[in-house]
Structure 1
Amino acid sequence: MKPLRLLLMLCLLLVSGLASATNYTLWIHGRTGGATIGNYADFSYWGPASMDAGVNKKAVNWDGRSSIASQSGTIRNALDCFCTGTNWCYIATHSAGDLLIGYTLANYGGSARVKKNAQPNASGVCGNADGSSQTGWNIKWIASAAGSGGGSELADVGAWTTSEPLVQDLRVRTARAMYNHNETRGIWFWMYAGADGGLTSAFLPGQDDGVQAYHSAGAVAGSSGGSYCNPQDWFCDVLTLGAGPAEGGHAKWANHWVAFRDDGEDYNHYTDGHWGGIVAVMRAAVAVNAR
């Protein structure tokens, strides 16, 4: 009977270990922010917290004004909290949140991370789980609405407060040179690009959502932005769906996939306090797939 008892004990331990594994959905906002840093329940940037936005959703709030390098630590705290040990994460970003997670993965995704217990204090920092470490984080995929990995021409022309450190980082050439955008640690970015631009479209090449042009929201590689459009437009190259090159042979960054292109020009950049704009399309997809 002893071998049988030992087998039963091992099975119970295995089941217990599996039961403790949890999936989380982390939401990383864009410029301006306004939500409380360290409060993972504060979804005021996005809209009502009651909205279905993936399993065990957490709002990863940062100041929305400072440099990407200075705010990466806040993102790393959240990733350590919820995406280490037996826990796994889905990540959704908006606008500058894409630049922030891209920078963090490229520069810290290969570092040793102490496994945490997913029990944050008031500052958003979690305690150690068992004292052991792992390399990088457990991330299933990243969804990005109006991604700013390629920067915005609005930062170049001074449409925002030019003394703001984040605006300096959002300049097109600066954003594209900030880190190795091809280094995603093997994690896929699913890109959602809106095309309902407004008056600011005069400063943005090709299709845009009023803040981010398709070259950035569609993860087209290169040291500078270009003009990319929908298939019905005649005077610029088409932003293709999927991971393949845009029309004209312009490559996308590695492990970046255009999941949605706004052919109907229906979605702008802004959430408007109710999960609106291009975020609405991404949120619906995350709600179905982040489980």
Structure 2
Amino acid sequence: MKPFRTFCALCLFLVSGLAAAANYTLWINGRAGGAVGAIGNYKDFSYWGPSSTPAGVNKKAVNWDGRSSIAAQSGRVRDALDCFCTGTNWCYIVTYSAGDLMMGYTLANYGGSARLKKNASPNSSGVCGNSDGTAQTGWNIKWVRAAAGAAGGSELSDAGSWTTSEPLVQDLRTTTARAMYNHNDTRNVWFYMYAGARGTAYSFILPGQDDEVVAYHSAGGVSGSSGGSYCNPGDWFCNDLTYGTANNQGGRAKWSYHSVLFRDDGEDYSHYLNGNWGGITGVVRNAVVGSAL
């Protein structure tokens, strides 16, 4: 009977290990003109809108201050990735605006590093304990969906339209953002891009189509050391931003592992959340609800 009992105990151990595996949906905020969610509190979605709004399986708010430099705040994102995207757990990632720059920087610079596997039980600072003492390389990430991605910077930073002493504004200058890290090095994680086009007040500063804050060259993951002018089909004054991974009209490629899933041909979606998951973020949220399971 003893071998049978040992076998059953092993079965229970394996089953409990499988049961512990989970998927999480991490939401990484962008620049913050005002308050953000409490840093370290993964339940605080006040930056986005009502926390009761569906936003993917086991949703977590990865709050960073939205004003300091990308390098200074990347540790906050690494804490969350360590917590929920190691061991047997996997993550879906959603970024907004400068959150795209943050995620790209973090993956390129730390996605090949050794990460201790964590237990997905954060303390008040947002740091999780070790699970079994072993490590892995990088994180378990299924994909990244970027709403109004600003990894290519914004001409609003170039023009000083925001407080120029703010470290994040310096990082968001187009040439600075594009030189900050190797945007082609995503650790083989796909970035799916969603580009809004309901630009109004600042459209004369931003080239091509824009959502009032970020132009298509950035929101569409277009490669290069500086921004360019990209639009919806039918605009004679700039090249088309293409869907998928195809080169854009005029021949400019997208960064590796970047694919355009949504282009705002109807010019319906602005940059802003409006306290209720609004703008282009709403398009992404709807997609995430059906795919982050």
Q: Give TM class, smaller chain.
A: over 0.9
Quote the Cα distance in structure 2 between the aligned partners of 1:258 and 1:69. Answer: 26
Matches within 5 A, 1:1-291: 7-32=7-32, 34-291=36-293
Q: Percent identity?
A: 72
Question: SS state of the match for residue 168, structure 2?
Answer: helix
Q: Quick one: distance in 2 between partners of 1:262 and 1:189?
A: 17
Matched position secondary structure for 2:202:
helix
Unaligned runs of 5+ in 1: none
Q: 1:223-262: CA deviations, max 9, x gaps?
A: 0000000012111110000011111111000000100000
Name stretches of at least 5 consecutive residues in structure 2 with no aligned partner.
none
RMSD: 1.2
Task: Provide the C-alpha distance between the structure 2 equivalents of 1:198 and 1:124, rounded to a whole number of angstroms.
Answer: 38
> Tell me, what secondary structure is at the counterpart of 1:201?
coil
Q: Deviations over 1:50-107 (max 9, x none)?
A: 0000000000000100000000000000000111111110000100000000000000
- TM-score, reference length from structure 1: 0.97
Q: CA separation in 2, counterparts of 1:204 and 1:268?
A: 14
Per-residue deviation at 1:9?
4.1
> Any idea what SS the aligned residue of 2:146 has?
strand
* TM-score (structure 2 length as normaliser): 0.97
Inter-partner Cα distance in structure 1 for 2:14 and 2:146? 35
Show CA shifts across 1:189-228 (max 9, x none). 0100000001111100000000000000000000000000
* Shift of residue 134, structure 1, vs aligned partner: 0.6
Once residues 5 and 142 of structure 2 are traced to their aligned partners in structure 1, the CA distance between those partners, rounded to angstroms, is 36
- Count, aligned residues: 291
